[in-house]
Copies of this chain bind each other. A is one copy, B any other.
């Protein structure tokens, strides 16, 4: 593990990269303790502050965790799906908000990936998934539900559908995409009429899931995607009309 003094990058960035590479290619294994900050400083021939900045970079990516006190130090972290998922949501949310991704493009991506889950969900769904989904549908049908609560319930519903696929990789990727869309979805005002239509489709999806009918799930998801895009377009059109005034 060496750093190149001619590299233009900051020392702390170089050191972080060296350690990161060592973790990725297996030279440092999970739960292994890194040398102490003082030792690393000596190894890389830099000050302790520089080493610390490098370690903070790695901690921000959940690659290491640190513990104080005797026997403490920096340890290679076993990155969990949950941690990765949290980071994914942060990144995806910012990507969408900073890069002017259109509502349609985000919608297409989200529902396309959800369709990809359908065959697996139809096969692996269990009573818990179905119960969660029906409970969320029930919540959605309550009158006087705020738009915010409605969206949260919508996310919970779709999250259950994704989790039904029983594939952590799909769940991780998908849940990120679904939750990252929430800020965009929150722009929409869901009328009683549109909620009714969405609940209808949610019910269709849940029924099809119970019947292990993957094709019907996919069909309803396409309808839901189309309908959601219509709602989104209406909001955008209304905004443009308002800005022209």
Contact = CB atoms under 8 A, between A and B. Distances in A.
A94 B23 contact: yes
A113 interface: yes
Interface string A85-123: 001101111111111010001101110110111011000
Contact of A79 (B56, B98, B168): B98
Contact of A173 (B49, B63, B79, B113): B113
Nearest to A101: B169
A24 B177 contact: no
A136 to B, nearest CB: 23
A152 interface: no
A90 B91 CA distance: 14
Chief secondary structure at chain A's binding surface: helix
Contacts of A117: 112
A91 B167 contact: no
Given A112-B117, A167-B105, A173-B113, A60 B99 contact: no
A61 B90 contact: yes
A119 B218 CA distance: 13
Interface string A39-52: 00000000001001
A155 interface: no
| Smallest CB-CB A-B distances: 10 pairs | A109-B169, A116-B116, A57-B60, A112-B116, A60-B60, A53-B56, A109-B170, A56-B56, A84-B91, A78-B98
